[in-house]
């Protein structure tokens, strides 16, 4: 069987396809370079003069990028993939058609050979194919590719590129600035601006929710009439504050704002106001704990600035804050430490006086929130009050009754009676007085000044329960009490005895007068000569006046005797039981001079003054005369009994004095005896010690001179002293 020569045609066709796509790739590269150079040169030059907006530049940038990508894909990428047989490429039939167009006399022989080669193989068909191949084989299929056109395009493209390179070189400044601005398509560039702008704000920061005013200064050939502030959302005309100075206020900023300025066709670079979160005090809780002694419960206040608390209260402020990096609490002018725990701040202070306070919350960027000035009013714990009234105990000497009143805000710690010798004020003695729990109360106190110095100073002191201030106290003025000595008491006893005797005499005279008046009145109402009711009334009034005076004297006698007894008991605390019993009985006699029957009878006469019934008057007057006679007799008896009691009392005092003198005499005798024994022992000593001379007193007698020892003289003097005291006591008894 004859061999086919189709492999020769097939090899020529493959070479054609390779060169065909290589030519396409070269043309694509030249086209891409030419289009890119022309478009970029044009855009850069236009931008260097036109200063396109970012919007236009962005659209143009992505359009050119799309064009370049499309040229690369269709004119370079696709042929390259076909050349590498990555994607389907032209078939032999298509290649034969392109070649047949170039060789006009081929009469599609290449296509016929390809088709015949695909038929059933036989010698006749192979011979026909080989015959046609022999005619075709001298042809160079690559001549069908228009390399001359490609070369011409290369020359034109190269010339254009060289021209553009030369133009870029000569206008390199424009090209550079245009290229830079175009490539930064999102950035706005403006022509050279003869004006300069300056933002006058120290800082372009603002707290969230605050207003922010932008201050602008524009300097240039003239003052722009209109200056606009541009943001991505709006464009606003700025206020003209003065020549070249403009302002605009952003209201209630909550987010960052980018803005620029526009004027006379010029546009500035972008500026930015940065918004930060400002510190906030979301709430305040005030806890007040009064001192325990006030018995006031703790309390809390929500979001309260001014308030009133008791003195010494512990105050705690609890602040809920946000965006806070620092906190200052200022009380008056002093800073109070605060405890910061995340968004909780606690400040504690003890309220010892009224004060003003404020607080500062510090945030980022040095922003400070300052509160108003608030006031805490302190209710002071006043000093306790004390008032005392004193009265002398009339039943005894050197004793006083005290009644007083104390008051305080919250209660008392102590009440005391304090006294000291006026000569030694530093030695103060204290006697506590019980107090109740009430805030206002009366108290009573009795004090006996006996057995104390002559002059005693005293005062009362009350302390409140204010432990915070150390129990504040109030004192009464210092008073001085001068005690009565036994000699003064004895003098008062003597005076009281005299006064009692005088009053007994007065009472007896009044009784005699009453008795005479009653006789006269009884005769006047019994005689035939009738007296008028008016005269009766006068006589009765006179009787009642004397009766009142008599009753008063009786009471005074009883009181004076009681006072005398008290003084006597203080002078002689060792009084015998017999004398004490006599003293008590005598007091009862003085107390019962006016019996209840006599008082009742006098009251009846007093009631009968209006009726003036003669019969009743006569009967009552008769009874009164009898009773008054009894009172007179009783006065006499009491007076005599009192004298006898006084004699007994003086006798007891004399006996006590004699006992004391005897004791003194005994002690002195023993002392003299001891001294005499010592002298005799010294005389019997044979040493050269000094001899003791017995002092002698020479008494001159007409007949002889007697020497009496010192011992005898002392004994005689003591005996004389004893006799003098006895005489003095007897004289007091007799008087």
Cα 459 to chain centroid distance, Å, stands at 37
Q: Pick 607 or 323 by higher pLDDT.
A: 323
The torsion of the CA quartet 203, 209, 211, 217, rounded to 10 degrees, works out to: 30
pLDDT one-digit tens code per residue, 444-465: 999 988 788 888 999 999 999 8
The neighbouring-strand residues paired with 391 are 401
CA dist list (Å): 393 to 90, 489, 563: 150, 14, 10
Residue 103 per-residue DSSP state: S
pLDDT one-digit tens code per residue, 465-494: 888 888 889 999 999 988 777 677 777 777
pLDDT one-digit tens code per residue, 684-697: 554 444 443 333 33
Radius of gyration of the chain (CA): 71
The answer to whether the beta carbons of residues 346 and 339 sit under 8 Å apart is yes
Alpha-carbon span 640 to 647, nearest angstrom? 11
Up-side HSE of residue 291: CA atoms within 13 Å toward CB?
A: 22
Classify 209 in phi/psi space as left (phi over 0), alpha (psi -120 to 50) or beta: left
DSSP secondary structure string for all residues of 562-582:
HHHHHHHHHH-TT--HHHHHH
Q: What is the mean pLDDT of residues 560-586?
A: 72
Alpha-carbon span 279 to 325, nearest angstrom? 8
Alpha-carbon span 370 to 574, nearest angstrom? 85
Alpha-carbon span 550 to 556, nearest angstrom? 10
Reported for 406-409, long-range contacts at CB under 8 A and 24+ positions apart, including other chains, are: 406/435, 406/440, 406/441, 406/443, 406/462, 407/439, 407/440, 407/441, 408/382, 408/384, 408/439, 408/440, 408/462, 408/464, 408/465, 409/294, 409/381, 409/382, 409/439, 409/464
CA dist list (Å): 627 to 554, 607, 642: 14, 19, 22
Q: Helix 6-50 to helix 92-102 angle, to the nearest 10 degrees?
A: 80
The answer to whether the beta carbons of residues 462 and 412 sit under 8 Å apart is yes
pLDDT at 600 over 80: no
pLDDT at 319 over 80: yes
The answer to whether the beta carbons of residues 321 and 283 sit under 8 Å apart is no
* pLDDT level of residue 24 (50, 70, 90 thresholds): confident
Cα–Cα–Cα angle for 574, 559, 503, nearest 5°?
Answer: 110
Cα 623 to chain centroid distance, Å, stands at 84
Cα 242 to chain centroid distance, Å, stands at 51
CA dist list (Å): 545 to 284, 514, 525, 540: 83, 10, 20, 9
The answer to whether the beta carbons of residues 39 and 179 sit under 8 Å apart is no
Alpha-carbon span 390 to 402, nearest angstrom? 4
Alpha-carbon span 660 to 721, nearest angstrom? 13
Choose the weakest-confidence range: 155-159, 237-241, 615-619, 669-673: 615-619
Cα–Cα–Cα angle for 490, 494, 498, nearest 5°?
Answer: 165
Enter the tokens of residue 527: 């005689």
Alpha-carbon span 439 to 430, nearest angstrom? 23
Alpha-carbon span 396 to 236, nearest angstrom? 106
pLDDT at 732 over 70: no
The torsion of the CA quartet 658, 660, 662, 663, rounded to 10 degrees, works out to: 170
Alpha-carbon span 506 to 484, nearest angstrom? 29
Q: What is the mean pLDDT of residues 221-249?
A: 90
The answer to whether the beta carbons of residues 483 and 449 sit under 8 Å apart is yes
* pLDDT level of residue 402 (50, 70, 90 thresholds): very high
Enter the tokens of residue 638: 């009491």
Decide: helix, strand or coil at residue 338.
strand
pLDDT one-digit tens code per residue, 658-673: 777 777 777 777 777 7
pLDDT cut 70: percent of the chain above it: 71
pLDDT one-digit tens code per residue, 526-567: 665 566 667 777 777 777 787 788 778 878 877 877 777 777
Cα torsion angle, 532, 533, 535, 536, sign: positive
* pLDDT level of residue 434 (50, 70, 90 thresholds): very high
Terminal alpha carbon distance of the chain:
204
Q: Helix 54-71 to helix 172-183 angle, to the nearest 10 degrees?
A: 90
Q: What is the mean pLDDT of residues 158-179?
A: 88
CA dist list (Å): 327 to 281, 336, 340, 341: 10, 10, 8, 11
Confidence (pLDDT) at 606: 63
CA neighbor of 657 nearest in space, from 604, 728, 567, 552: 728
Helix and strand numbers, DSSP H then E, in the chain: 14, 31
Alpha-carbon span 246 to 268, nearest angstrom? 15
Q: Pick 101 or 515 by higher pLDDT.
A: 515
CA dist list (Å): 34 to 67, 146, 333, 353, 576: 12, 20, 81, 92, 156
Top mean-pLDDT range of 2-11, 179-188, 469-478, 527-536: 469-478
Backbone angles phi, psi at 479, to 5 degrees: -110, 160
């Amino acid at each position: 069987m004859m061999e086919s020569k189709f492999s020769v045609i097939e090899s020529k066709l493959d070479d054609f396809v390779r060169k065909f796509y290589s030519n396409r790739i070269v043309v694509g590269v030249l086209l891409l370079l030419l289009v890119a150079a022309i478009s970029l040169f044009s855009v850069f030059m236009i931008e260097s003069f036109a200063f396109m907006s970012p919007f236009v530049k962005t659209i143009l940038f992505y359009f050119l990028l799309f064009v370049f990508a499309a040229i690369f894909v269709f004119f370079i990428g696709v042929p390259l993939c076909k050349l590498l047989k990555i994607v389907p490429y032209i078939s032999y039939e298509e290649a034969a058609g392109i070649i047949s167009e170039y060789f006009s006399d081929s009469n599609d022989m290449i296509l016929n050979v390809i088709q015949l080669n695909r038929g059933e193989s036989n010698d006749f068909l192979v011979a026909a194919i080989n015959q046609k191949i022999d005619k075709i084989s001298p042809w160079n299929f690559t001549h069908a590719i228009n390399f001359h056109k490609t070369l011409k395009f290369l020359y034109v493209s190269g010339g254009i590129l060289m021209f553009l390179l030369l133009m870029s070189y000569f206008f390199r400044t424009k090209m550079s600035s245009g290229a830079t601005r175009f490539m930064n398509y999102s950035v706005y560039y403006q022509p050279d601006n003869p004006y300069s702008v300056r933002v006058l704000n120290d800082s372009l920061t603002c707290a969230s929710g605050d207003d922010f005013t932008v201050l602008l200064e524009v300097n240039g050939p003239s003052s722009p009439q209109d200056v606009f502030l541009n943001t991505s959302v709006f464009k606003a005309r700025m206020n003209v504050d003065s020549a070249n100075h403009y302002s605009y206020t952003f209201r209630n900023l909550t987010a960052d704002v980018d803005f620029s300025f526009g004027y006379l066709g010029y546009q500035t670079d972008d500026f930015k106001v940065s918004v930060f979160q400002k510190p906030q005090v979301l709430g305040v809780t005030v806890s007040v704990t009064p001192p325990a002694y006030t018995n006031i419960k703790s309390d809390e206040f929500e979001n309260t600035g001014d308030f009133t608390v008791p003195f010494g209260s512990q105050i705690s402020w609890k602040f809920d804050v946000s965006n806070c990096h620092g906190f200052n609490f200022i009380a008056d002018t002093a800073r109070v430490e605060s405890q910061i725990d995340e968004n909780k701040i606690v400040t504690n202070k003890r309220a010892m006086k009224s004060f003003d306070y404020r607080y500062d919350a510090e945030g980022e960027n040095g922003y400070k929130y300052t509160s108003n000035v608030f006031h805490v009013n302190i209710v002071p714990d006043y000093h306790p009050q004390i008032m005392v009234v004193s009265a002398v105990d009339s039943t005894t000497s050197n004793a006083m009754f005290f009644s007083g009143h104390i008051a305080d805000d919250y209660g008392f710690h102590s009440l005391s009676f304090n006294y000291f010798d006026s000569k030694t004020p530093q030695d103060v003695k204290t006697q506590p007085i019980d107090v109740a729990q009430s805030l206002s109360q009366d108290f009573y106190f009795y004090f006996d000044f006996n057995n104390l110095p002559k002059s005693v100073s005293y005062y009362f002191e009350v302390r409140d329960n204010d432990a915070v201030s150390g129990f504040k106290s109030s004192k009464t003025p210092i008073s001085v009490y001068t005690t009565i000595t036994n000699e003064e008491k004895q003098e008062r006893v003597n005076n009281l005895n005299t006064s009692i005797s005088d009053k007994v005499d007065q009472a007896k005279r009044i009784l005699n007068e009453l008795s005479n008046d009653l006789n006269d009145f009884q005769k006047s109402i019994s005689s035939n000569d009738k007296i008028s009711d008016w005269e009766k009334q006068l006589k009765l009034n006179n009787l009642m006046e004397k009766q009142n005076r008599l009753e008063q004297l009786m009471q005074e006698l009883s009181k004076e005797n009681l006072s005398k007894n008290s003084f006597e008991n203080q002078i002689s605390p060792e009084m015998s039981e017999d004398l004490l019993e006599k003293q008590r009985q005598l007091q009862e006699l003085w107390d019962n001079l006016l019996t209840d029957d006599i008082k009742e009878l006098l009251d009846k006469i007093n009631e009968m003054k209006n009726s003036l019934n003669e019969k009743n008057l006569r009967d009552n007057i008769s009874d009164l005369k009898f009773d008054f006679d009894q009172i007179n007799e009783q006065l006499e008896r009491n007076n005599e009994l009192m004298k006898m009691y006084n004699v007994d009392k003086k006798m007891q005092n004399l006996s006590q004095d004699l006992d004391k003198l005897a004791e003194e005499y005994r002690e002195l005798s023993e002392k003299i005896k001891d001294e005499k024994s010592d002298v005799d022992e010294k005389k019997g000593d044979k040493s050269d010690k000094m001899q003791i001379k017995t002092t002698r007193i020479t008494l001159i007698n007409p007949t002889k001179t007697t020497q009496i020892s010192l011992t005898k003289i002392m004994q005689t003097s003591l005996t004389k002293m004893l006799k003098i005291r006895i005489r003095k006591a007897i004289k007091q008894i007799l008087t």
